[in-house]
Amino acid sequence: MQPATAVASPPGLSSADVAARVAAGKVNVTDDTSSRSLWAIIRGNLFTLFNAILGVALVVVLSVGAWKDAVFGFVLLFNTLIGAVTEYRAKRTLDRLAILNEAEVTAIRDGAEHRVPIREVVLDDVLRLSLGDQVPADGEVLTSAGLEVDESMLTGESEPVDKVTGDPVLSGSAVVAGSAVVRATKVGPDAYAQKITAQAKQFSLVGSELRSGINKVLVVISWVIVPIAFLLFWSQIRNVGGWQIAFSGDGWRDAVVQAIAGIVGMVPEGLVLLTSINFALAAVILARRKVLVQELPAVEVLARVDVLCLDKTGTITDGSVELDELVELEGVPGARELLATLAREPGASPTAAAIAPGLQDVPSVAQQEVVPFSSARKWSGHQAESGAWVLGAPEVLLASRGADDAVLARVREVATSGARVLLLAHVSEGELVGESLPDDVRPALLAVLRERVRPDAAQTLEYFAAQDVEVKVISGDNPATVGSIAESVGLEGGAESVDARTLPEDRESLREPIRTSRVFGRVTPEQKRAFVHALQDDGRTVAMTGDGVNDALALKDADLGIAMGNGAAATKAVARVVLLDGRFSTLPGVVAEGRRVIANMERVAALFLTKTTYAVLLAVVVALVAWPYPFLPRHLTLVGALTIGTPAFFLALAPNNQRYRQGFLDRVLQLAVPCGLICGSGVLVVYGTLHLRGEELQASTGATLTLILMALWLLGILARPWNWWRLTLVGVMALGAVLAVAVPFVREFFALEWPTGETAQLIVVVGVIGAALIEVVYRLRERRLARAEAPRPAPGQVGVDASTDRASR
Q: Are 154 and 193 in contact (CB under 8 A)?
A: yes
Picking from 352, 365, 344, 338, the residue whose alpha carbon sits closest to that of residue 426 is 338
Number of H-type helices and E-type strands within the chain: 31, 21
CA distances from 163 to 89, 104, 332, 552, 678 (A): 42, 22, 34, 23, 74
DSSP 377-391: T-EEEEEETTEEEEE
Q: Are 565 and 579 in contact (CB under 8 A)?
A: yes
Q: Are 206 and 594 in contact (CB under 8 A)?
A: no
Which distant-in-sequence residues (6+ apart) come within 8 Å of 468 by Cβ? 306, 659
Quote the CA–CA distance of 790 and 799 in Å, as a whole number.
8
In a 3-state reduction of DSSP, which class is residue 564?
strand
Long-range contacts of 376-382 (CB under 8 A, 24+ apart): 376/159, 376/160, 376/176, 376/524, 377/177, 377/435, 378/476, 378/522, 379/437, 381/427, 381/432, 381/435, 382/338, 382/342
Which distant-in-sequence residues (6+ apart) come within 8 Å of 100 by Cβ? none
3-state SS, 113-167, equals EEEEEHHHCECCCEEEECCCCECCCEEEEEEEEEEEEECHHHHCCCCCEECCCCC
Q: Classify strands 542-546 and 307-310 as parallel, antiparallel or unpaired.
A: parallel
> Which residue type does 113 have?
E
Quote the CA–CA distance of 176 and 135 in Å, as a whole number.
11
Q: Are 759 and 690 in contact (CB under 8 A)?
A: yes
804 burial class (0-12, 13-18, 19+ CB within 10 angstroms)? exposed
409 burial class (0-12, 13-18, 19+ CB within 10 angstroms)? exposed
Quote the CA–CA distance of 412 and 377 in Å, as a whole number.
20
Rounded to 5, what percent of the chain is helix, strand, coil?
55, 15, 30
The DSSP letter of residue 512 is H
Q: Are 271 and 605 in contact (CB under 8 A)?
A: yes
Kindly calculate the radius of gyration of the chain based on its CA atoms and give it in whole angstroms: 34
547 catalytic residue (yes or no)? no
Q: Are 474 and 523 in contact (CB under 8 A)?
A: yes
H-type alpha helices, 150-250: 152-155, 192-196, 198-201, 209-239, 243-248
Q: Are 135 and 155 in contact (CB under 8 A)?
A: no
Picking from 494, 545, 490, the residue whose alpha carbon sits closest to that of residue 518 is 494
Which distant-in-sequence residues (6+ apart) come within 8 Å of 86 by Cβ? 276, 279, 280, 283, 284, 296
Burial code (b: 16+ CB inside 10 Å, e: under 16) for 230-267 equals ebbbebbbebbeeeeebeeeebbbbbbbbbbbbbbbbb
In a 3-state reduction of DSSP, which class is residue 471?
strand
DSSP 755-778: PPHHHHHHHHHHHHHHHHHHHHHH
Given 311, 477, 547, 559, the catalytic residue: 311
Quote the CA–CA distance of 552 and 575 in Å, as a whole number.
8
List active site positions.
311
